[in-house]
Structure 1
């Protein structure tokens, strides 16, 4: 399958790199500008990717949660066929562990442990779709770390 040229994904990737290089303000501004163009009903692949990365650039945990919820909502509208137009190996089911993990962490930061545990359970349920590769191991390890953190704050869990 020939991968399509996608200028929007190129712009998202560029802004993500800015954020990784420590230029979080400009990265956040650029992704916010792109969201205004894509909109809440635009291409679900663009929305999911953008919201996922924009969440990580937020200083306010409530704003981080808002963007992570948008990423999950977009993933629910996303098809494997659309994701594979970007990269042949992508499967939407493999996005879910990370998306649920992010929501669990957001709720933990906001002092909402019951919701954190609920999303952590959803992340755990979706782990079998991940490969045994560096990405899969990273997500599995993060799920276990967050589980331990939540258990330490509430031994009854």
Structure 2
């Protein structure tokens, strides 16, 4: 789904963002609230609720508006709305984390990760993935951290093995532990293995790691 710059709700939210950026929080909140009051469909309500959630003075209200945005997304019968799910789940998770409700936070960080393959490639998608990864780590929920892989990456960084890092680092850094992300990492490791550019001991570790990761997603 695309944001229409001529949409009145989008225009009000844009004005609100500009007000917030210039140190006018009360004006920003008023504009976002106006957008909410004028919203007459789920997409417009989602947009307004998303920005209202970012300009609340209590953590409880922040959670409620983030939940409202997420629920409005659920009501939209358009497959492309799934590209919003990772960000919306991330916001809900962080709101629960700020309220010290770690079980709910973990659940929503994991849901954000499960939809992360719908994110577009590029800086926005990478930003959301980083936020999800950091949230999983803060809440102790990131179960994907193979010690062998971590040791190899650290060694390649220390010894400046740029060829190995060029294959592995992007999927390693963006890996959220989902089958989709693990398969991307397996592909990168397989390409690296095929180059036969590593010392024998590292080559063996990479090949074993590929087998272990493959078993984990089958």
Identify the TM-score tier after normalising by the shorter chain.
0.7 to 0.9
Give the count of matched residue pairs: 138
Separation of aligned partners in 2, 1:140 and 1:54: 23
Aligned to 1:72: 70
Structure of greater Rg: 2
1:18 Cα offset (Å): 1.4
1:98 aligns with 2:99: no
**Superposition map of 1:45-84 within 5 A:** 45-80=43-78
Deviates more, 1:15-24 or 1:65-74: 15-24
Deviates more, 1:97-106 or 1:123-132: 123-132
- List alignment gaps of at least 5 residues for structure 2: 142-218
Measured on the aligned residues, the alpha-carbon RMSD in Å equals 1.8
Residues 60-89 of structure 1 deviation map (CA, whole Å, 9 limit, x = unaligned): 1100001101101111122449xxxxxxxx
Aligned to 2:34: 33
Residues 104-124 of structure 1 deviation map (CA, whole Å, 9 limit, x = unaligned): 000000110000000011001
1:59 Cα offset (Å): 1.9
Runs of 4+ in 1 over 3 A off after TM superposition: none
Aligned to 1:15: 16
Separation of aligned partners in 2, 1:13 and 1:43: 18
Aligned to 2:96: 107
TM-score (norm 2): 0.59
TM-score (norm 1): 0.81
**Superposition map of 1:140-151 within 5 A:** 140-151=129-140
1:124 aligns with 2:109: no
1:4 Cα offset (Å): 7.7
